[in-house]
């Protein structure tokens, strides 16, 4: 295993070369020696190699999802470091925290049984976090979804996303139910309702898409599926006319050019950046992603397209496609119903989140303020994505065991 791991054929070495090449480009762009680049390069490389080595030693599951994540994080850190070296170094620190969280949750989920029996705990913890957000939350970019404690800020919705998937999996696999399906639906829509109150429309969309995916596959009453789709359409239309925040997002999506000096400034600058990059990009450090407000969080994909080109953006999209493919492969091979639903929920959560923000910055759908998983700057989002990946890693291990038994 160790010899195989350190072989030149291993994908970790390709990631290492990409990181070194990008950091060298940043070094020349900075016009002089920057110790942060040297420290960042060494730190990033060590984290990648040590974490992959630990995964080889501890898990018999799917190692490709971890490699895909490593590549996405590397691209994100390179781009964030180019935009703001301080943010780039912080992101490497959060990467280290995320890796620790990955192995922590991998160990906890793997070694504790009976997760399907704690449905009331998932609901209760979610309710506490929602109420805490409403009471202690701080409004940022129009949404009250952040809690500040001293100098530390985090988004409770990132934790609630994980709890929500556990709640759905517990309902459809556990022996202890919470009444009939209408009570279940009432709880589901209370989650989405809280997010609407906070004006966190991006998170509300992710919750709904994840719920409908699991609901469509595992709900036996097929009429309820059509009722929920129709109800969501009605709620969407009413939201446009009754909620100013929703109406602004739709208007700037349809015609951002009429509001280029105000509400449409971000999306128009995003489109300018993507167009100026062309197929091959301007080169790292040679574009102007700083023209886009909040480029290191919501619009990191636009910055990648500007300096790495449309082909670079397609590469990021393909990495997410492969991640979703590997996740679905885990779902199909998993025989434990609870972990089957968990794997489906984590996979669709990451996939839909990527679709929502990429679709928003290219004006395919209305823009909502969510981060691009593993790529955008942000501590709570990155750590939550690592939690999801750690849980998905546990769900993947049965695949290897079953394959070995079949081959044996």
pLDDT tens track for 147-190: 777 667 778 888 999 999 999 999 998 766 787 888 999 999 99
> Band of the pLDDT at 12, cuts 50, 70, 90?
low
Q: Does residue 41 surpass a pLDDT of 90? A: no
**pLDDT beyond 70 at 398:** no
Average pLDDT, the chain: 84
Give the pLDDT band (50/70/90) at residue 386.
very high
Would you state the pLDDT for residue 19? 66
Q: Once rounded to an integer, what is the mean pLDDT over residues 82-105?
A: 89
Whole-number pLDDT of residue 402: 41
Question: Concatenated DSSP letters for 208-255?
Answer: HHHHHHHHHHH-S-HHHHHHHHHHHHHHHHHHHHH-HHHHHHHHHHH-
pTM for this predicted structure = 0.89
Q: Could you tell me what percent of the chain has a pLDDT over 70?
A: 86
pLDDT for the residue 407: 41
Q: How confident is the model at residue 173, as a pLDDT?
A: 87
Residue 80 has pLDDT above 70, yes or no: yes
**pLDDT for the residue numbered 372:** 92
> And the tokens for 140?
């940022």
Residue 46 is predicted with a pLDDT of 81
Strand order from edge to edge, sheet including 143-149: 137-140, 143-149, 152-154
Residue 283's contacts (CB-CB under 8 Å, 6 or more residues apart) are 25, 307
Would you tell me how many other CB atoms lie within 10 Å of the CB of residue 163?
Answer: 19
Instruction: Find out whether 214 and 342 touch, Cβ atoms under 8 Å.
Output: no
Q: Residue 312 has which token pair?
A: 């670079």
d(CA 350, CA 372): 9
């Amino acid at each position: 295993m160790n010899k195989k791991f350190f072989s030149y054929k291993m994908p970790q070495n390709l990631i290492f070369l990409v990181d070194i090449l990008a950091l060298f480009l940043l070094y020349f762009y900075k016009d002089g020696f920057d110790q942060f680049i040297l420290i960042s390069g060494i730190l990033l490389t060590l984290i990648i190699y040590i974490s992959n080595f630990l995964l080889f030693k501890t898990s018999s599951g799917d190692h490709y999802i971890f490699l895909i994540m490593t590549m996405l994080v590397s691209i994100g850190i390179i781009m964030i470091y180019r935009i703001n070296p301080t943010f780039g170094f912080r992101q490497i620190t959060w990467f280290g925290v995320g890796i620790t969280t990955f192995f922590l949750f991998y160990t906890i989920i793997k070694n504790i049984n009976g997760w399907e029996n704690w449905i009331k705990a998932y609901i209760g913890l979610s309710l506490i976090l929602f109420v805490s957000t409403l009471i202690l939350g701080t409004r940022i970019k129009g949404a009250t979804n952040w809690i500040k404690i001293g100098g530390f800020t985090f988004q409770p919705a990132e934790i609630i996303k994980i709890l929500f998937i556990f709640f759905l999996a517990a309902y459809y696999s556990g022996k202890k139910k919470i009444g009939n399906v209408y009570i279940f639906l009432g709880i589901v829509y209370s989650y989405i309702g809280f997010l609407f109150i906070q004006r966190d429309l991006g998170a509300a969309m992710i919750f709904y898409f994840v719920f409908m995916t699991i609901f469509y596959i595992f709900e036996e009453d097929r009429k309820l599926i059509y009722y929920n789709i129709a109800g969501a359409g009605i709620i969407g239309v009413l939201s446009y006319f009754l909620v100013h925040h929703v109406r602004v997002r739709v208007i700037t999506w349809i015609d951002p050019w009429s509001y280029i000096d105000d509400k449409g400034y971000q999306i128009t600058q995003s489109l300018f950046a993507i167009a100026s990059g062309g197929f091959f990009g301007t080169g790292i450090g040679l574009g102007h992603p700083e023209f886009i407000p909040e480029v290191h969080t919501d619009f990191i994909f636009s910055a990648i397209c500007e300096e790495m080109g449309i082909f670079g953006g397609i590469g990021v999209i393909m990495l997410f496609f492969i991640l979703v493919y590997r996740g679905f492969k885990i779902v199909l091979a998993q025989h434990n119903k609870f972990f089957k639903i968990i794997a489906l929920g984590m996979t669709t959560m990451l996939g839909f989140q990527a679709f929502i923000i990429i679709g928003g910055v290219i004006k395919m759908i209305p823009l909502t303020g969510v981060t691009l998983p593993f790529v955008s700057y942000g501590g709570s989002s990155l750590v939550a994505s690592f939690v999801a990946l750690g849980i998905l890693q546990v769900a993947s291990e049965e695949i290897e065991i079953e394959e070995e038994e079949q081959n044996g």
